[in-house]
Amino acid sequence: MASNGYDVIIVGGGMGGLNLAALLSKEGRRVLVLEKGGRESLGGRAASGKVGSSAVDNGIKGLILAGTQDEVFRRIGKKLPENVCRWTNSGQVHMNGEWRKLDEIVRGSIGEFAKVYMNTTSEWSYDEIEGINDVSIEEFVTQRTDDQGVIDFFRYLGWLFGGTLSMPLDYSAGSLFYSVKKQFDTLGRYPSQSYWVKGGSGAIAGPLVEATEENGGEIRTSCSVSRVVIERGTVRGVDVEVGSRRVPTELVDTERIEAPVVVSAVAIWDIFNILSEDDLSPWYADRLRHLHRKTLNLATLTYGHTDRELWDFSGPRWTQEGPVSGRPWCASDLEYGEDESEYQVTFWMQLGWWDKPNVFEMREASHKAALERLFDDFEGDVRALFPGIVEDSKWRLRSFGPATIMETPGYVGSSLVDIEAQGVDGLYLIGERTRAAKVMGVYGAAQVALAAAERILAR
């Protein structure tokens, strides 16, 4: 049995795990991070790959809510990579067969718009905003105005925050306003600009790894945790797989590493790979299962270009109904390349749990075929609305995967699980959509890590 005197074991080297590791090791805790992927996969779903000289992301297209991640970097004494996003969110929307500027949709209704948007953000407290967690954006806005421009704007704003969701009915007003207020309070501006860092989203992981190791933390990669060890309601450590499989079905040996605190920083849908439902209280286990079913998948199409005539760089585009796919999606340009003459145009489409194919059924051939069709139709939309992009691209990348847990009324705030696992002393769960995350995505991972660090340091 190996103990080595670790104070905290963190399972998973994604943004949640790395943020927490950096924060705890800065405060002198002996931290061990265990990541099943190789060193290049530190950062998890936010890690970036490379095509030629360009960094490409696993679909991450905007690090929303700059604020919580900045806070972590401030505490660990590191600098965030440079923001290379040059446009604001005021792009164009394709509706009823034509492109319309988002600003123009709102301009005529600015008074009404300010009443709903600015007043809610600036005059409501966080508690009041959390009081509307279970109210949809659509419901919230239509109760306050019958101005169609304003209603339309919030519909697209729902898209901005929820991506391309066609259903503002399914997006929580509390969640939206919490994100906006948080950004306004921490950075002094409304989310008018996205935050894309030089080197891709994965560039945020580097300084977190560095800070952890500089402060005596340990990060083991290619190390898969097979289970969290819990005895009589108390965490004892983890079992990790040792050696590699000689045949795919081999049951490999495990080694136990002990620690009084174990943090699961794996995505919520992976939790039952390392924990038994019986270890948790029935309510808690049931709630986790439920969240799993609210997963939102993202399909992205990215094209690499050197011809700057192909994209007009006037900001992002939203499509209400793709001419071939019939689905809503967003598009924008990215300039990630070390080679300044190269840029990327990326298109992303969200698929809810109600949609097929479901990412969790992807091992079935029929679902793989459905996914191929989806991408072919998606590319058909791009060909129709942006001539030249598909035909003249230097490279193309298709990606599909679980992006987040949907911020649907009934699935935010107090209805979510706490980071301290009910029923087990010393076990923390920091996967997204735990109650402390408040906001989604990479900044949610930073926020939940800040909350977990506070609780663990207070033990």
Q: Which residues bind ligand FAD (CB under 6 A)?
A: 11-17, 34-37, 41, 44-46, 58-64, 224-225, 265-267, 270, 273-274, 298, 300, 399, 401-404, 431-432, 441-443, 445
- Residue placing its CB nearer to ligand FAD in the complex, 141 or 440: 440
Q: How far is the CB of 373 from ligand FAD (least distance, A)?
A: 19
Q: How far is the CB of 439 from ligand FAD (least distance, A)?
A: 8
Residue nearest to ligand FAD (CB): 14
Q: Could you write out the DSSP letters of every residue in 184-224?
A: HHHHSS-S-B---BTT-GGGGHHHHHHHHHHTT-EEE-S--
Q: How far is the CB of 179 from ligand FAD (least distance, A)?
A: 11
Q: How far is the CB of 131 from ligand FAD (least distance, A)?
A: 25
Nearest 5°: phi and psi at 384?
Answer: -70, -40
Q: How far is the CB of 119 from ligand FAD (least distance, A)?
A: 27
Q: How far apart are CA 448 and CA 19, in angstroms?
A: 9
Q: How far is the CB of 50 from ligand FAD (least distance, A)?
A: 17
- Residue placing its CB nearer to ligand FAD in the complex, 12 or 174: 12
Q: How far is the CB of 233 from ligand FAD (least distance, A)?
A: 22
- Residue placing its CB nearer to ligand FAD in the complex, 14 or 409: 14
Q: How many CA atoms lie within 13 A of 413 on its CB side?
A: 22
- Residue placing its CB nearer to ligand FAD in the complex, 200 or 304: 200
Q: 191: which residues sit within 8 A by CB, 6+ positions away? A: 64, 65, 89, 160, 179, 180, 183
Q: How many CA atoms lie within 13 A of 193 on its CB side?
A: 13
Q: How far apart are CA 263 and CA 427, in angstroms?
A: 6
Q: Is 118 helix (H, G, I), strand (E, B) or coil?
A: helix
CB atoms within 10 A of CB 173: 26
Q: How far is the CB of 314 from ligand FAD (least distance, A)?
A: 20
Q: Could you write out the DSSP letters of every residue in 332-384?
A: EEE---SSTT-EEEEEEEEE-TTSSS-GGGTTSHHHHHHHHHHHHHHHHHHHH
The tokens 């007043």 sit on which residue? 119
- Residue placing its CB nearer to ligand FAD in the complex, 58 or 109: 58
Q: How far is the CB of 406 from ligand FAD (least distance, A)?
A: 12
- Residue placing its CB nearer to ligand FAD in the complex, 204 or 424: 204
- Residue placing its CB nearer to ligand FAD in the complex, 113 or 426: 426
CB atoms within 10 A of CB 380: 15
Q: How far apart are CA 402 and CA 187, in angstroms?
A: 29
- Residue placing its CB nearer to ligand FAD in the complex, 31 or 442: 442
- Residue placing its CB nearer to ligand FAD in the complex, 59 or 328: 59
Which DSSP helix (H) or strand (E) runs through 154?
A: helix 148-162
- Residue placing its CB nearer to ligand FAD in the complex, 58 or 164: 58
Structure tokens at 384: 């129709």
Q: How far apart are CA 72 and CA 183, in angstroms?
A: 15
b/e map of 70-95 (b: 16 or more CB within 10 Å)?
bbbbebbebebbeeebeeebbbbbbb
Cis peptide before 357 (omega within 30 of 0): yes
- Residue placing its CB nearer to ligand FAD in the complex, 20 or 141: 20
Q: How far is the CB of 446 from ligand FAD (least distance, A)?
A: 9
Q: How far apart are CA 174 and CA 228, in angstroms?
A: 34
Q: 98: which residues sit within 8 A by CB, 6+ positions away? A: none
Q: How far is the CB of 21 from ligand FAD (least distance, A)?
A: 11
